[in-house]
């Protein structure tokens, strides 16, 4: 532990964060106490506290004086598009679903805007996200073919904990990003989109477009979400929470 580079608090943070994402500590359980963690990591309590504070402010953990640190979620609301649809629906006691529409491969014949960002050889994954069976969002995810070699429909379960495309891409293909840009704009439902979302043509919709980059400035993926429902933020305190509405 003490021979790796970088500050200790960062190494402890990275380790704990990885454990959380690997399910080593599951949601609702309690973490070891500060003293215990300090002992196992061979750092001072102040240092382990610093790491825990980071995880708390990011929303992974909640700290309760006199009790301990509780695992709150594995998908904290770090952004809008990167927020797990699955988690937020589950928290409301409803049933999230994801119906795969199609996986299409493009080779130079993709729309120009996407082509410019991600390159020639592309995959488009179209999915319909549902709540209690009702269609809520149409999600188009674009990826360079090279990054997701051998992707098939089997990679996308219709129900369960692993519907999140981000978790699929991260777990199955090791896809990671460091920076992302999201825009929200307005549009009206086309014939095709209206059919999928079961709304009349010309209905005003929200479009969330999210582009994610890795450290080398390469574009990792591009995602477009069409939704009829508003986007809600709860602001206040240090943390922010997107809610499904």
Contacting positions for DNA (CB under 7 A): 7-10, 31, 33-35, 42-47, 49-50, 52, 63-69
Structural contact between residues 226 and 209, judged by C-beta atoms closer than 8 angstroms: no
Residue 227 CA to residue 92 CA, distance in Å, equals 19
Residue 150 and residue 143 in contact, taking contact as beta carbons nearer than 8 Å: no
CB of 41 to DNA, least distance (A): 8
Residue 235: count of CB within 10 angstroms of its CB = 7
179 binds, among DNA, a second copy, none (CB under 5 to 8 A by kind): a second copy
By the 8 A CB rule, do 201 and 194 touch? yes
Q: Identify what 8 binds: a second copy, DNA, none; CB under 5 to 8 Å per kind.
A: DNA
Closer to DNA by CB, 18 or 45: give it. 45
Residue 13 CB, nearest approach to a second copy (Å) = 12
Nearer to DNA, 26 or 245 (CB): 26
Closer residue to a second copy, CB minimum distance, 44 or 234: 234
Which are the contacts of 158, defined by CB distance < 8 A and separation ≥ 6? Answer: 97, 98, 99, 100
Query: Closest approach of Cβ 4 to DNA, in Å?
Result: 10
In the complex with a second copy, the residue whose CB is nearer, 44 or 178, is 178
**Taking CB within 5 to 8 Å according to partner kind, which of a second copy, DNA, none is near residue 182?**
a second copy
Task: Label residue 153 exposed, middle or buried (CB < 10 Å: 0-12, 13-18, 19+).
Answer: exposed
Nearest distance, CB of residue 157 and DNA, angstroms = 35
Taking the complex as a whole, how short is the minimal distance between the CB of residue 182 and a second copy, in angstroms?
Answer: 5
199 contacts which partner out of DNA, a second copy, none, CB within 5 to 8 A by kind? Answer: none
The partner in contact with residue 69, picked from DNA, a second copy, none with C-beta cut-offs of 5 to 8 angstroms by kind, is: DNA
Instruction: For a second copy, give the closer residue by CB, 4 or 185.
Output: 185
Question: 8 — alpha (psi -120 to 50), left (phi > 0) or beta?
Answer: alpha
Closer residue to a second copy (CB): 92 or 95: 92
b/e burial code for range 46-74 (CB count within 10 A of at least 16 → b): ebbbbbbebbbeebbbeeeeeeebbbebb
Residue 230: CB minimum distance to a second copy, A: 4
CA dihedral 245, 79, 16, 175 (to 10 degrees): 110
Which residues of this chain interact with a second copy, rule CB under 8 A? Answer: 57, 78-80, 82, 178-188, 204-206, 230-237, 240, 245
């Amino acid at each position: 532990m003490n021979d790796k580079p970088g500050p200790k608090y960062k190494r402890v943070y990275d380790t704990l964060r990885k454990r959380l994402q690997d399910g080593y500590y599951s949601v609702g359980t309690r973490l070891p106490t500060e003293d215990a963690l300090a002992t196992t990591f061979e750092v001072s309590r102040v240092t382990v506290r610093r790491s825990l504070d980071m995880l708390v402010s990011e929303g992974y953990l909640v700290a309760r004086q006199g009790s301990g640190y509780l695992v709150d979620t594995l998908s904290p609301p770090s952004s809008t598009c990167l927020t797990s649809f699955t988690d937020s629906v589950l928290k409301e006691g409803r049933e999230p679903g994801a119906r795969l529409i199609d996986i299409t491969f493009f080779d130079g014949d993709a729309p120009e805007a996407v082509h410019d960002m991600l390159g020639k050889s592309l995959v488009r994954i179209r999915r319909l996200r549902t709540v209690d069976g009702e269609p809520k969002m149409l999600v188009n995810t674009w990826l360079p073919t090279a990054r997701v070699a051998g992707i098939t429909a089997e990679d996308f379960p219709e129900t369960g904990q692993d519907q999140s495309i981000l978790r699929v891409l991260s777990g199955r293909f090791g896809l990671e990003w460091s920076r992302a840009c999201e825009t929200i704009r307005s549009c009206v439902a086309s014939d095709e989109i209206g059919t999928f979302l079961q709304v009349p043509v010309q209905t005003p919709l929200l479009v969330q477009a999210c582009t994610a980059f890795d450290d080398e400035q390469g574009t990792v993926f591009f995602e477009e979400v069409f939704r009829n429902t508003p986007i809600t933020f709860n602001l206040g305190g240090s943390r922010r929470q997107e809610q499904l509405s």
